[in-house]
Amino acid sequence: MDFATVDLERQARCGFPEVIFAPGKTCQWLEEIVRKLSDAGQDVLATRLDNEQAHYLADRFPAAEQDQMARTFWLKQSAVVGPQGRVAILTAGTGDLPVAQEAAVTARAMGVAVDVIVDVGVAGLHRLLKRLTEFVSADAIIVVAGMDGALPSVVGGLVSCPVIAVPTSIGYGTSFDGVAALLTMLNACAANVVTVNIDAGFKAGYVAALIAKQKTEGTGPR
Amino acid sequence: MDFATVDLERQARCGFPEVIFAPGKTCQWLEEIVRKLSDAGQDVLATRLDNEQAHYLADRFPAAEQDQMARTFWLKQSAVVGPQGRVAILTAGTGDLPVAQEAAVTARAMGVAVDVIVDVGVAGLHRLLKRLTEFVSADAIIVVAGMDGALPSVVGGLVSCPVIAVPTSIGYGTSFDGVAALLTMLNACAANVVTVNIDAGFKAGYVAALIAKQKTEGTGPR
Amino acid sequence: MDFATVDLERQARCGFPEVIFAPGKTCQWLEEIVRKLSDAGQDVLATRLDNEQAHYLADRFPAAEQDQMARTFWLKQSAVVGPQGRVAILTAGTGDLPVAQEAAVTARAMGVAVDVIVDVGVAGLHRLLKRLTEFVSADAIIVVAGMDGALPSVVGGLVSCPVIAVPTSIGYGTSFDGVAALLTMLNACAANVVTVNIDAGFKAGYVAALIAKQKTEGTGPR
Amino acid sequence: MDFATVDLERQARCGFPEVIFAPGKTCQWLEEIVRKLSDAGQDVLATRLDNEQAHYLADRFPAAEQDQMARTFWLKQSAVVGPQGRVAILTAGTGDLPVAQEAAVTARAMGVAVDVIVDVGVAGLHRLLKRLTEFVSADAIIVVAGMDGALPSVVGGLVSCPVIAVPTSIGYGTSFDGVAALLTMLNACAANVVTVNIDAGFKAGYVAALIAKQKTEGTGPR
Amino acid sequence: MDFATVDLERQARCGFPEVIFAPGKTCQWLEEIVRKLSDAGQDVLATRLDNEQAHYLADRFPAAEQDQMARTFWLKQSAVVGPQGRVAILTAGTGDLPVAQEAAVTARAMGVAVDVIVDVGVAGLHRLLKRLTEFVSADAIIVVAGMDGALPSVVGGLVSCPVIAVPTSIGYGTSFDGVAALLTMLNACAANVVTVNIDAGFKAGYVAALIAKQKTEGTGPR
Amino acid sequence: MDFATVDLERQARCGFPEVIFAPGKTCQWLEEIVRKLSDAGQDVLATRLDNEQAHYLADRFPAAEQDQMARTFWLKQSAVVGPQGRVAILTAGTGDLPVAQEAAVTARAMGVAVDVIVDVGVAGLHRLLKRLTEFVSADAIIVVAGMDGALPSVVGGLVSCPVIAVPTSIGYGTSFDGVAALLTMLNACAANVVTVNIDAGFKAGYVAALIAKQKTEGTGPR
Amino acid sequence: MDFATVDLERQARCGFPEVIFAPGKTCQWLEEIVRKLSDAGQDVLATRLDNEQAHYLADRFPAAEQDQMARTFWLKQSAVVGPQGRVAILTAGTGDLPVAQEAAVTARAMGVAVDVIVDVGVAGLHRLLKRLTEFVSADAIIVVAGMDGALPSVVGGLVSCPVIAVPTSIGYGTSFDGVAALLTMLNACAANVVTVNIDAGFKAGYVAALIAKQKTEGTGPR
Amino acid sequence: MDFATVDLERQARCGFPEVIFAPGKTCQWLEEIVRKLSDAGQDVLATRLDNEQAHYLADRFPAAEQDQMARTFWLKQSAVVGPQGRVAILTAGTGDLPVAQEAAVTARAMGVAVDVIVDVGVAGLHRLLKRLTEFVSADAIIVVAGMDGALPSVVGGLVSCPVIAVPTSIGYGTSFDGVAALLTMLNACAANVVTVNIDAGFKAGYVAALIAKQKTEGTGPR
């Protein structure tokens, strides 16, 4: 394979196989990489597929689940176990849903239960507070927001678990394709907020799932 | 005067005399400009005085009020009338106080009553909600915040009057001296939020007072 | 509804119902949100509709007014009352018209009279000065400008009411899609100028209408 | 207290008391805030103290531990319990030490064991690989780096726990006071890397400790 | 001379000798460069001298004129001829004076008559219009402005000669040390406006003088 | 006309009629504006026409000259007089030609002779030096360059007339659509270089023509 | 030729003929430039051809090699000599291949042997270390990476030859089309890393080949 | 040593020992690191020493050479061999000298002969061309320039060896502390130009020396 060096050892090192980033790859390349991973008996997750890539892979891997909104491909090969831990995903608006969905697919692929709560932005606080009980006891919370990106600061102050903030490119003008929301999140006054790249639903889902699974497994005090 | 062209007609056109921006002016220049305005019988407000300027003017205009935190000079010459309208000023943190104070001095100089509510940032929402009755009925609200600048979005969604958001340069790293807060505010989800320059307490106080006074005066339906 | 949490209480809190931001919403989602609001007896304003969204909603809500230039949808349900207050909208150039129109539709939807004065940029000052009487007595003024964004500074110095400056993305090169105009406006020398996001005609119309209505209602001195 | 609204309920909501950000506060204000928190029986952590603030508080709260490199003030009031979980902190260079130390003080204040591994930047990979066993089994890892900020990407690929990347303002020219390192970290190829603000050792320590404690406590599978 | 390569031919090529930019040069280096130029019989202009440099050179070249506000050193060696052409320099505010003065010294050094009109910014238009006759017939106009940088757009629309806009670093927050004014000027709606670097009074004075002298010399139609 | 306020007095004030910026205008609007100007007996220049606009106007104003590369429309109504003065236009590369051509059309429309010298960028200095005699005696020089934008600095050092630098958006990556070239030009070491907006061939042609015409007319020493 | 000034002397001065940058050139222009160079007996390399340009030239110069992935045109006219020196090209990911290929074509055109090693990014270090022997002895190494751009720092620390880092526009969000990777590379901790423009495979291949050829030729100690 | 992990193997891997970056290190730390390296028999180069660090080390390592302008510390321990290869360093201005000197010290420390040619910026081309023979045959050329950063483009077109461009922070306003020069250099039209960080004289000297030494050693054709 002269176009990729698939990292088959990542599962052993990092606890989850290499995930395929689809942009910039031809359909044929994607197919070969998927095969390489699946032939090794590993689960295969790919993100950011465009329509052509999605259809091409659907024809060749009918067993895989594809989520159109999340733009993901998910070929499960390992045995299913009950969900380990629980992640809550909140979005500030409706337009943030695709990124939230990418996070949800990722976390579920990693074996974690996920609840999604949509459109609870800070301009109508009561919408958020009304649903506090649904997310306050999650093991990790993902907050997805564009425009002013203010939701993670508020959520962070209401809970005791880590909050992973995902800025989205939703907005116009000075939202600068998500930069405004990113800066808001990096400057969040709440101490439990960390941030990932703009629109990086995958990465947020990944880390939230890691945290939730670690908690479920536990270690006991040293 | 070969260093300034004082605009003595501004009071007639705009309803308030020209306000002096102190940086870049020598003490002598400041003195002459103050004199020019006061000789014309106008109230004199100057902002952003450094210590040297403040002391120099204090010696020459002992009747003026100077506010060290706000860095303002205020020489009232017109008759005092009861406050017209009421402005509430909220700050997200303690460090935002000097900017809030500049706004407060300005609005009071324009004849408006001012309430200041400090340190009610969104990471502890209950602090804000607890004081809702104090600001919900103001004629205009100024929200001063650095870091994530998230407070105006939340306040905007709770009230029906215009909210003037003032980003401050409080923060570090990606606060970029107030740019992060500014962007948050320009992207505020609440529809009633407008924004001024970073640390522009003066301008926020000015416009909030205009709005409050207009409301007090009223016009009746057309 | 698993894609939106409509804020039916916003009218009570903020004086106007939640306004729908169309981008990123499917036609079906838009329809359901419009229905949710209209079923609750609230007026429905939506902004930034693309052609597909506009036609889809036109078929289903024939009673609604749609403005192609402003890209708005307006479904009035409440009783009409005479205009409360008056807002003047000025544009620097012809290309700024769509943003001005979004502001005009919004302010009219809120029950305020609106005058639009087009193409009176500062490179031909006489055009502006000739029409001074048309806008000098407005309750609030919106100034829409791209490129150098210099018009609000000039207008601000001519009037005594608040001026809401709207930068537009009109221009090329270093206009940086409206950033140049935004910075000009944030730095406006006139003290009565506040700013909103680039191309944010809606927000400018909203706040200007708030100010004009407040003034009309009046409160009398305290 | 008219300069601050101390959030005494944060411990109940978030699991740790409000932490004091010292910049922009007078010594007197700091003292009063510390007293308010300590009178409520809460532990008091303050960050980013300058020398004057540090000495002032040292005189008044001799029981507090102050760390000059980390610029922290730590007044422990609660009972000591054995460390819960373990956090590893790696720095790319020597100059990153103060930020790492702020993270370490914070995590220890939250009851977590901390190991610090210094100056293992990627230009000499063997330095890092040689110490892999020291950090590979940590519950959470903090990676502190300025300049190219490349270390978190490498560390992320070697471990299975969450990695919290902290960009520092160490560098010159195009390091842009930490922006280069921040961007590197937000774009880290490793999926388990999240990011905090530039020089935000406190926030990294806080979240890493949350993760480590959650894991130690565990919940068991659901 | 191993620290500089003085360009003694510039006068022949460009019509004016090399001008010395003082920052980054030791006093000794400055002295030697001044001597090299003056020994060649050329006029010597140096800009941006700090106090130490200014005093050092004053001791050694008592015949030179130094302007403290403009931070210039001017050693005239050539015969004086009557002024050729006339340049008007306008400033928006008082704080722009040092930059205007650097332009004035430069243009006068090049043999052009200069009028300076101070503090005629656009927030008080009448100040500018009142003095129109003083600048409308100049051969070239320099407009110096910080903050919103709006003055050149207005002046450009009133006159028929070239306008050289000089942004200054006067302002705060989003003035970004002159960037806001620079962008305004680059986007000026008036067609006759060109721009130079922030605070580049020297360059503006230089080019304005070139234009004025060319006009005075004339060539007659071809 | 409710979409434009044509400035028919600009010719009297500024020496040339208002020039039409086509983007953002409908074909009908353009037609009406052209008619308004031509009915007043003024020459009509429009820039940045897209294909649709160009064809629409070509049908209605067959007497107008349109230049496809420059994207200009030129309807001459005034009597032709011999060229007044001479402008040289240099480009660094071939891709800079459209901008150079916009400048050339503009300057010619204003009655000035124009020479265009193409592709003499600094990576092959001899190409430039070989043609020195063609441009050294021009009344004003326009230098058009993208990428590194280095050509104006070199040209400026070779001539005694003003040099107007036009950055173009030619390049990739860190050319940032012309920002790199713009910054180079604003920082040009040569003292006779001024700058206009990115791709602003029109403005460069306009000012160069003003300078050349002024020189031709002359005034004689005062 | 009025659209280009071909630099036929570049081969003599710089050791390689002028290379054609295709964007912004019509097919006819490209053809004429290719002919001018080939008629002079020089090798002709063109980069960044779009499909239309590529096909047009293929029809007219069937002897030329075109590489679709690299978007290059290569018409060899000089005699072939054995490769002089060896360059290794590493990519961090699969998406970086087109840029790597542009570098490879360029270096081979200059007569240097090239090895390409794909997808050895730092998140799976073992992939890189496993192939160390393949690149450690190269005369120069090109490292092509988008996203975090961390690979050059790691490679630089493993080898003793110069490393030329090429940032690519692969990534999303805060990759800012390659700016993040560029900054990482400019700040690389390894001392032997230099950088070129984003996606500038050509320039990297050119300089790497220069270095490799110089080494092969040698000079012996002085 | 708990503040640094000295990389004693770098000489073996990279051909030169680890170089110490002084900022952010205490004097004691510096001393220990110097000792660690020198005890291992390695040459010790440190860069960017401030005055306090320089004096502290001078007292303890009197055998070391310190260069005040370059801010370097150089403790040679290995045997001296004749210079291998020759590097030419050109500066555009006098203010670029300290960066050039850092490059010179570094290259000489690596055993390469260095010629420095000062103040040959492009505004006076003849200064550069006059000295062409001094640098045209160098093995590698370093060009150091601030402000417009145009010199490397010109030099690159005159020579056949690699050119390493070093932007400096010399300038004001839109030089943005070297960013303008950096962008110019990254966009250099000459194909043989690579770039390093702003003010990175060390890195330029390092890579230029690598290239020069490689050439001297030679390998002969493969």
More confident residue, D184 or D216: D184
Does the distance separating the beta carbons of E211 and F191 come in below 8 Å? no
Query: pLDDT of D92-129, one tens digit each?
Result: 999 999 999 999 999 999 999 999 999 999 999 999 99
The amino acid occupying position E209 is A
Query: pLDDT of C91-106, one tens digit each?
Result: 999 999 999 999 999 9
Alpha helices in E10-124 (DSSP H): 10-14, 27-39, 51-60, 97-109
- Answer for the pair E43, E78: CB distance below 8 angstroms, yes or no: yes
The amino acid occupying position F119 is D
Does E25 contact chain H (CB < 8 Å)? yes
Spell out which residues of chain B touch residue D198, defining contact as CB-CB under 8 Å: 172-174
CA distance E3 to chain H (A): 6
pLDDT at B94: 97
Judge if pTM exceeds 0.95. Answer: yes
The answer on pLDDT for G1 being more than 90 is no
The amino acid occupying position H196 is V
pLDDT at F222: 52
- Mean confidence (pLDDT) of chain B: 96
Query: pLDDT of E152-177, one tens digit each?
Result: 999 999 999 999 999 999 999 999 99
For chain H, how many residues are written?
Answer: 222
- Answer for the pair B148, B180: CB distance below 8 angstroms, yes or no: yes
Does the distance separating the beta carbons of H147 and F150 come in below 8 Å? no
Angle at which helices A51-60 and A27-39 cross, to 10° = 40
H/E element holding H52?
helix H51-60
CA distance D10 to F118: 69
- Answer for the pair C112, C85: CB distance below 8 angstroms, yes or no: yes
DSSP assignment string, D167-204: E-S-S-GGGGGGHHHHHHHHT-SSTTEEE--TT-HHHH
Does the distance separating the beta carbons of E119 and B3 come in below 8 Å? yes
Confidence of residue F1 (pLDDT cuts 50, 70, 90): confident
Alpha carbon distance, N-terminus to C-terminus of chain E = 46
Spell out which residues of chain E touch residue H127, defining contact as CB-CB under 8 Å: 5, 7
The vertex-A121 CA angle with A115 and A125, nearest 5°, equals 100
H/E element holding E88?
strand E86-91
Query: pLDDT of F202-214, one tens digit each?
Result: 999 999 999 999 9
pLDDT at A1: 84
Alpha carbon distance, N-terminus to C-terminus of chain D = 46
Confidence of residue H80 (pLDDT cuts 50, 70, 90): confident
Does E145 contact chain C (CB < 8 Å)? no
The answer on pLDDT for A73 being more than 90 is yes
CA distance E173 to chain B (A): 5
User: In the numeric block, which tokens belong to residue F119?
Assistant: 């592709």
* CA distances in angstroms from A85 to A114, A165, A200, H213, listed in the order given: 9, 19, 21, 59
Confidence of residue A216 (pLDDT cuts 50, 70, 90): confident
> Which residue from C4, C25, C197 is facing A173, i.e. has the nearest CB?
C197
H/E element holding H65?
strand H65-67
Residue B142's φ and ψ, nearest 5 degrees, are -105, 130
Spell out which residues of chain E touch residue F19, defining contact as CB-CB under 8 Å: 191
Does D169 contact chain A (CB < 8 Å)? no
CB pairs under 8 A between A and D: 140
SS3 of F195, please? strand
pLDDT at D222: 53
Confidence of residue A218 (pLDDT cuts 50, 70, 90): confident
Average pLDDT over residues D167-179: 98
CA distance B107 to chain A (A): 27
Confidence of residue H219 (pLDDT cuts 50, 70, 90): confident
Residue E165's φ and ψ, nearest 5 degrees, are -95, 130
The answer on pLDDT for A185 being more than 90 is yes
> Which residue from D3, D10, D178 is facing B97, i.e. has the nearest CB?
D3
Rounded to the nearest 10°, the torsion over CA B101, B104, B109, B111 is -170
Residues forming beta bridges with residue A167, ordered by sequence position: A145
- Please name the residue of chain F whose CA is at the shortest distance from the CA of residue C117: F2
Any contact of F with B, at least 3 CB pairs below 8 A?
no
Alpha carbon distance, N-terminus to C-terminus of chain G = 46
pLDDT at A220: 66
Spell out which residues of chain E touch residue C123, defining contact as CB-CB under 8 Å: 153-154, 156-157, 188-191
HSE-CB at A172 with a 13 A cutoff on CA atoms is: 18
- H157: exposed, middle or buried (C-beta count within 10 Å: 0-12, 13-18, 19+)? buried
CA distance D73 to D50: 11
More confident residue, B216 or B51: B51
Residue C127's φ and ψ, nearest 5 degrees, are -60, -40
CA distance B34 to chain E (A): 14
Does the distance separating the beta carbons of H197 and G206 come in below 8 Å? no
User: In the numeric block, which tokens belong to residue D219?
Assistant: 């919940």
CB pairs under 8 A between A and G: 54
CA distance D6 to D1: 9
CA distance G128 to G141: 14
Does the distance separating the beta carbons of D153 and G148 come in below 8 Å? yes
- Answer for the pair G118, G151: CB distance below 8 angstroms, yes or no: no
Residues 6+ apart with CB under 8 A from G104: G70, G89, G114, G116, G201, G205
DSSP assignment string, chain C: --S----TTHHHHHSSPPPEE-TT--HHHHHHHHHHHHHTT--EEEE---HHHHHHHHHH-TTSEEETTTTEEEE--SPP----SEEEEEESSGGGHHHHHHHHHHHHHTT-EEEEE----GGGHHHHHTTHHHHTT-SEEEEEE-TT--HHHHHHTT-SS-EEEEE-S-S-GGGGGGHHHHHHHHT-SSTTEEE--TT-HHHHHHHHHHHHHHHHH-----
- Mean confidence (pLDDT) of chain D: 96
The amino acid occupying position A39 is D
pLDDT at B220: 67
Does B24 contact chain C (CB < 8 Å)? no
Pairing of strands A193-195, B20-21: unpaired
Query: pLDDT of C114-160, one tens digit each?
Result: 999 999 999 999 999 999 999 999 999 999 999 999 999 999 999 99
Pairing of strands A44-47, A72-75: antiparallel
Average pLDDT over residues A96-121: 97
Angle at which helices E179-186 and C179-186 cross, to 10° = 120
Q: In b/e form, how buried is each residue of H173-203, taking b as 16+ CB within 10 angstroms?
A: bbbbbbbbbbbbbbbbbbbbbbbbbbbbbbb
Does the distance separating the beta carbons of H4 and D119 come in below 8 Å? yes
Confidence of residue D82 (pLDDT cuts 50, 70, 90): confident
Q: Which of C1, C3, C5 has the most A C-beta neighbours within 10 Å, making it the best mutation to test the interface with A?
A: C5
Does B110 contact chain D (CB < 8 Å)? no
Query: pLDDT of B167-186, one tens digit each?
Result: 999 999 999 999 999 999 99
Residues forming beta bridges with residue B166, ordered by sequence position: B144
pLDDT at A81: 82
ipTM over 0.90: yes
CA distance B189 to G61: 59
For chain F, what percent of residues have pLDDT higher than 70? Answer: 99
The amino acid occupying position D15 is G
For chain C, what percent of residues have pLDDT higher than 90? Answer: 93
CA distance E156 to chain F (A): 8
SS3 of E35, please? helix
Any contact of B with G, at least 3 CB pairs below 8 A?
no
- Please name the residue of chain F whose CA is at the shortest distance from the CA of residue E15: F160
Query: pLDDT of G113-151, one tens digit each?
Result: 999 999 999 999 999 999 999 999 999 999 999 999 999
CA distance E198 to E179: 7
Spell out which residues of chain C touch residue A173, defining contact as CB-CB under 8 Å: 167, 169, 177-178, 182, 197-200
Number of helical H runs and strand E runs in chain G: 9, 9
Q: Which of F18, F105, F179, F215 has the most E C-beta neighbours within 10 Å, making it the best mutation to test the interface with E?
A: F215
Average pLDDT over residues H120-126: 95
Does the distance separating the beta carbons of B221 and C218 come in below 8 Å? no
Can you tell me which residue has the tokens 């208002």?
Answer: F18
- Mean confidence (pLDDT) of chain A: 96
Does the distance separating the beta carbons of F174 and G182 come in below 8 Å? yes
CB pairs under 8 A between B and D: 54
- E152: exposed, middle or buried (C-beta count within 10 Å: 0-12, 13-18, 19+)? buried
The closest of H155, H121, H162, H146 to H201, measured between CA atoms, is H146
The vertex-F157 CA angle with F154 and F161, nearest 5°, equals 115
Query: pLDDT of F169-220, one tens digit each?
Result: 999 999 999 999 999 999 999 999 999 999 999 999 999 999 999 988 887 6
- Answer for the pair F23, F48: CB distance below 8 angstroms, yes or no: yes
Pairing of strands B44-47, B72-75: antiparallel
Can you tell me which residue has the tokens 């990086």?
Answer: A200
pLDDT at D217: 82
> Which residue from D14, D164, D203 is facing A160, i.e. has the nearest CB?
D14
- Mean confidence (pLDDT) of chain H: 96
Spacing of C-alpha D116 from chain mean position:
12
Spell out which residues of chain C touch residue F10, defining contact as CB-CB under 8 Å: 123-124
pLDDT at F220: 66
pLDDT at G92: 98
The closest of E146, B207, B10 to C158, measured between CA atoms, is B10
CA distance A187 to chain B (A): 5
- Answer for the pair E183, E58: CB distance below 8 angstroms, yes or no: no
- Answer for the pair E97, E107: CB distance below 8 angstroms, yes or no: no
CA distance D73 to D54: 7
Number of helical H runs and strand E runs in chain E: 9, 9
Query: pLDDT of F66-114, one tens digit each?
Result: 999 999 999 999 988 878 999 999 999 999 999 999 999 999 999 999 9
For chain B, what percent of residues have pLDDT higher than 90? Answer: 93
Can you tell me which residue has the tokens 């001063």?
Answer: B144
